Structure 1
Amino acid sequence: CRLKNGSCFEDERSLKDMGISIPDSWKAEVYTEEDEKLLGDCETPWTLNVDGLGEDGEPLYDPVHGTSCHQCRQKTLRKHTFCSKCRSGQGQLCGDCLYTRYGENVMEAMKKPEWLCPACRGICNCSRCRRAKGWPPVPILFAKVIE
């Protein structure tokens, strides 16, 4: 529930005031300092909406040679990560998703042979991983928070 300035949603506005009701079937989402240590970082910013685009400025989708991103599930020719632990599609994130969701640069991650994907670190916020933890998908909450 942390905001960029370090405060919590509950400090700014209660979830109920924002019109967010959490069904009983969803578990509470709690983060600790240990979770914060699992977040990545980057030395250089990643430029969004540049990598893997065609001349028309649209992403290059390729069902044969493309790589599927665990986060956005798009099969594109963009640069993707490779996880040293799971060594599977779960560990493949495109540069835009990795930077937008986790603050990491895909070029830096690709240079680290020991790099672990967000799912293996237990911090993946894609809808599938969040549902597996009993949490609501991010778009539902995000839409309510920005209202």
Structure 2
Amino acid sequence: MLLLGKLGLFDEGDDEDDIEKRPANAPLLRVKYGSMLRLTPEALARRCTSKDRGTLYDPYLGICCHFCRQKKLCGEEDCKRCGDTDMDQPCLGKTDCSICHSSQGVLCRGCLKVRYGEEMEDVRANKEWICPHCTEEKGINPYWICNSSLCLKKRKMAPTGIAIFKAREMGYKSVAHLLMDQLQGAVKG
């Protein structure tokens, strides 16, 4: 907070407790009135070259994906948050869990597809979308777990690395589907 204050992003006297609670894909960053953060045309072009994970790392404006932990601006052309740096808008290239609204429910397009077999357009259309953590916690889909390395380590499981190649070779839609089948087999066997 102190560093951001020195950069002119916050008004003097701003307190973290005064900042309203927002969804995890719209992080708590208020831009001081009159100070405009704009991307250069080159950065804007680079940001929109990839719809997967985004291509432009930004330590202040980027939103961190729970799986790949990359703090990048999304590659969605019509995202006002990442393209116009409008902090009052949600990021269109990152998910937001309808239950927890936490950082665990923030996934980029690439991780959402490869790790969980879901499409960003479907998630955006579904206002009731639930992240893997909440799906597991609520018991909505048995054996469905978050397969990020952080969460697998907490479960005393080995991280899967780039298991999508193995999953697809075996006919699975995503790494989560492969793990779900393996977990079911372990319980039955």
**Fold match by TM threshold 0.5:** yes
Rg bigger for which structure?
A: 2
Counterpart of 1:59 in structure 2 is 55
Counterpart of 2:149 in structure 1 is 127
| Runs of 4+, deviation exceeding 6 Å | none
Shift of 1:52: 6.9
Q: Which has the higher helix share?
A: 2
Structure with greater contact order relative to length (CA < 8 Å, sep ≥ 6): 1
Counterpart of 1:99 in structure 2 is 113
User: Identity across aligned pairs (percent)?
Assistant: 43
In structure 1, the gaps of 5 or more residues are 1-48
Q: Is the 8 A contact 1:67 1:75 kept in 2?
A: yes
- Counterpart Cα distance in 1 of 2:60 and 2:106: 16
- Counterpart Cα distance in 2 of 1:96 and 1:102: 10
1:49-92 alpha-carbon deviations (Å, 9 max, x no partner): 82178xxxx71111111111000000111110000111111100
Choose the corresponding residue for 1:118, options 132, 138, 144.
132
Counterpart of 1:50 in structure 2 is 50
TM-score when normalising by structure 1: 0.55
**What SS is found at the alignment partner of 1:138?**
coil
Shift of 1:134: 1.5
- Counterpart Cα distance in 2 of 1:125 and 1:91: 12
Q: What letter is aligned with 1:61?
A: Y
TM-score when normalising by structure 2: 0.44
The CA RMSD over aligned residues, in Å, is 2.4
**What SS is found at the alignment partner of 1:76?**
strand
1:117-142 alpha-carbon deviations (Å, 9 max, x no partner): 112222110011111112111129x4
